[in-house]
Amino acid sequence: MDNKYENIVPWNGANDTGRDVRLKLERNFSRVAANFFELADKDAELEDWINAIVEELKNFLRKDRPDATEYLLKLFGGAWFGEFVDGLIAGKGAGIFPDGRGQFERLEVRGSLSVLDLIINQIQGMESDYSFTEIGKIKSVEDLGENTYRLSIEKRTDFDFMKFQDNDVCFSIINTLLTGGSDYYTSWMRILTTNAQENSITVVLYPDSEVPGGTNYPPLAGYNVTRRGNSTLPEAGGFNERAQSWMISSREGRIMFLANVFKPILEDYNYSISIGRFPRTKALEKLPISENETGVMAQTVIAEKFYQLDHNGDVIPNKVDRGAWSLETAQSGAPYRLVQHELAKPSGSEYTLLEQHTVYHLGCKWGCLSDKTTDEPKWNSPSWGLLEGDSRYSLQLSLSGGEAFVIGGVDEVISGRIYFGTTDITDDVMADDATEVEWFRNSGNVPADNLWTPEYVDGNRLAIHIDNGNQHGVGSDFGFVSKSVIFTCRVFFPVNGRLEKVDMNLGFDIV
């Protein structure tokens, strides 16, 4: 094929007739014509080339229109769909990265979703009810008549088999509101038989009178069925573990552990644990608690620590009765306790009493004031405080020879004893150097009474000798001029930083 064409440059001179240009054009066109005749002989070969190119183009995916392939498409650099921006918070669109990571606006799975590690948003919500027992999705429903149905349970994996057993009390909640329907009801049923090979169960519906709400409904394909209990009653002393289940209900507003559930309608004893809104039980009728209040209700509570508040939010201390006090217990591994919580503030520490052990000793009830103390509970112990019993201090005076005597023959000893309630604390009080004892005489003769001084017996300040004399006794005119003499004793003694006073009068009268 001759492709050597002549270059045509027109001459624009005054005598130019264009003959050179015409000759060059004729020669170029002659070469073009010869080329066409040459190509005409190669039409078949050219057609084969064109067909081969067309076939080769079929192996490439189009970028200008929709296309498809029946073979594996490998995208080693990843893929973006739509307008893609990387990011969980401000991102948009969809994208798949070479490391296998993908981002999407929404992922809809018609079958099952299997993951090794599920990381979710820190804030999540839950609607309806969650049952932590056997559960299965109803694949199909076959009506066998007389309120009996065969339910085929969908397999989530090839090795997934339903775990239901005979006599299980089951229910299924049907809700078609989100799909434009108007159905919202619960179907209650009892399993008659199970078929592991077919992965199916045969159930019978409970009568309307035996279900909550008073109306029962048939099951529906596409909805979950779960166990609430089991109708098999255990033998005396036995236990049916399938008659219990955990449930979380956002609809009822509580977390429940149900026990001994043998039928759809729950009894008060079925609520083994309830956290959240209180269920409607007879116990609420006896307490100032409504169904809208929240709290914890349980058949048994075992706790190491228990704190109670009053209506003002103040802590009510827990009083632990430890019975009769003993030194052996105080020195053991379970001593008497006073548990407080210290709250540090700029103005100083504040202490809240959380727990106080109490004991009985000397006919009184005492509260521990010093944690793990080994002190004996008594009137002046800084480690114990009197909670119940007579806490009054008193002084008792007595005469050694009785109250009968003759004029001029007085020879008596007045003795005093100090009591805390009914407990004699004289020795403890008098052993304290800070204790002060005062004695006074009142005979009506003021000058003589001012000169009177007590005569202690053997150095005991609570025992004085009384005779007929003026200096230490009733006075020489007693029985003649003075018909009555009163002796007064006063004792001042410290108790835990404060000063207590007791006194008593003792009179000598002549009738």
| Closest by Cα among 444, 466, 462 to 453 | 466
Bridge partners of 489?
Answer: 439, 504
CA 449/CA 2 separation, integer angstroms? 165
In this prediction, the residues of the chain whose per-residue pLDDT falls under 50 are 14-16
The whole-number pLDDT of residue 384 equals: 96
The whole-number pLDDT of residue 19 equals: 66
**Does the predicted TM-score (pTM) go above 0.75?**
no
The whole-number pLDDT of residue 216 equals: 95
3-state secondary structure (DSSP) of residue 34: helix
DSSP one-letter string for 434-453: T-EEEEEEESS-HHHHHH--
CA 245/CA 130 separation, integer angstroms? 11
CB atoms within 10 A of CB 103: 18
Instruction: Tell me the chain's radius of gyration from C-alpha atoms.
Output: 53
| Closest by Cα among 137, 146, 140 to 170 | 137
Bridge partners of 172?
Answer: 187
DSSP one-letter string for 257-293: EE-S--SSSPPGGGEEEEEEEPP--HHHHTTT--TTS
| Residue 390 DSSP symbol | -
Contact 470, 363 (CB under 8 A): no
Bridge partners of 420?
Answer: 393, 423
Q: Token pair 């066998």 is at which residue?
A: 144
3-state secondary structure (DSSP) of residue 459: coil
| Closest by Cα among 462, 491, 498 to 380 | 498
CB atoms within 10 A of CB 373: 19
Token pair, residue 363, equals 């006919």
The whole-number pLDDT of residue 16 equals: 47
Contact 256, 243 (CB under 8 A): no
Token pair, residue 446, equals 């003021």
Q: Token pair 């002060």 is at which residue?
A: 436
The whole-number pLDDT of residue 183 equals: 72
> Could you give the angle at the alpha carbon of 378 between the alpha carbons of 376 and 380, nearest 5°?
110
The whole-number pLDDT of residue 14 equals: 47
Token pair, residue 175, equals 């809700």
Token pair, residue 25, equals 């054009």
Contact 418, 425 (CB under 8 A): yes
Contacts of 444 (CB under 8 A, 6+ apart): 482, 484
